[in-house]
Amino acid sequence: MAGGECKSNDYGAAAYWDARYSSSSAGSPASGGGGEFFDWYQTYSALRPLLRACLPASSRVLMLGCGNSLLSEGMAKDGYEDIVNIDISSVVIEQMREKHKEIPQLTYMQMDVRDMSFFGDESFDCVLDKGTLDAMMCADDAPDGASKMLAEVARLLRPRGIYLLVTYGAPKERVPLLNQAGCSWSIALYIMPTPGYQLKMSKGAPQPTMEELALTEDGPPDYVLKDPDSHFIYVCHKLAVEEANCRDIDPEETANAN
């Protein structure tokens, strides 16, 4: 999904991902299959400063669409204590269970992100999403499936819990989707060059850089960085009921009532 473009594949289908992760010809970094382990988008080392700043190691974390990423492994080695990893592909879940059977902080479960009813309300402190919303926007049931996933994310998070989304989706595309009915967030937005661009510019090891962008009351900025290719990172804090109610009040109505 380079550049966030959708292809003809149904990225919301278990059969597609099972075949991809089973294929011996898919074991290259470009495809991330065939029993190989590969981080789409950004690595833990790149995301670590942000994660450490906003997420205590004691947090209960849910990793959406974990695939064969090593993000969870990196977090566990860095002290995070409880990470539940889910993916629609039973093939990759078995691969990751086997790889991480000696790391008790990591749990793996086959599950569809559009229906996570196995978990009770407010079960997690953080939901991490590295490309899964992008995949859902390329599913055959998009955008309905993506909306179902986001509603489930909001349900599963405790008040002030964090949904951390790494995506190709620019603010004009993602903020309205995030703020669908039933979802109330306080959103901070960051932008980070892709690892490929960093390598090209540094002529060697990438040097992760992250820039915070302003989200104004008038809505998301009409901002898309064309060069370098970039990922947008949304740190969404779930508002408590009273916070959401306060945000919905029209200041002019309050002034007139007084």
**In terms of pLDDT, which residue wins out, 192 or 23?**
192
* pLDDT number for residue 258: 47
For residues 2 and 201, give the distance between their C-alpha atoms in angstroms, rounded to a whole number.
Answer: 18
**In terms of pLDDT, which residue wins out, 25 or 150?**
150
- Per-residue pLDDT at 99 exceeds 50: yes
Asked if residue 35 belongs to a domain, the reply is no
pLDDT tens digits for 31-90?
Answer: 455 557 778 889 999 999 999 999 999 999 999 999 999 999 999 999 999 999 999 999
With H, G, I as helix, E, B as strand and everything else as coil, classify residue 212: strand
Relative orientation angle of helices 171-178 and 144-156, to the nearest 10 degrees: 60
* pLDDT number for residue 208: 67
Asked if residue 3 belongs to a domain, the reply is no
Q: How far is CA 143 from CA 125, 135, 167, in A?
A: 26, 11, 15
User: And the tokens for 188?
Assistant: 């901070």
- Per-residue pLDDT at 181 exceeds 50: yes
Asked if residue 36 belongs to a domain, the reply is no
For residues 153 and 238, give the distance between their C-alpha atoms in angstroms, rounded to a whole number.
Answer: 10
* pLDDT number for residue 242: 67
Asked if residue 29 belongs to a domain, the reply is no
Q: What share of the chain is helix, strand, coil (3-state, %, to 5)?
A: 35, 20, 40
User: And the tokens for 104?
Assistant: 């008790």
**Domains in the chain: how many in total?**
1
* DSSP secondary structure of 19-48: HHHH-GGG-STTT--TT----SS--HHHHH
For residues 174 and 94, give the distance between their C-alpha atoms in angstroms, rounded to a whole number.
Answer: 32
With H, G, I as helix, E, B as strand and everything else as coil, classify residue 219: strand
- Per-residue pLDDT at 108 exceeds 80: yes
The CATH number assigned to the domain holding 235 equals: 3.40.50.150
User: And the tokens for 246?
Assistant: 């306060």
For residues 189 and 170, give the distance between their C-alpha atoms in angstroms, rounded to a whole number.
Answer: 10
For residues 51 and 44, give the distance between their C-alpha atoms in angstroms, rounded to a whole number.
Answer: 9
- Per-residue pLDDT at 106 exceeds 70: yes
Please give the residue range of the domain that contains residue 215.
42-257
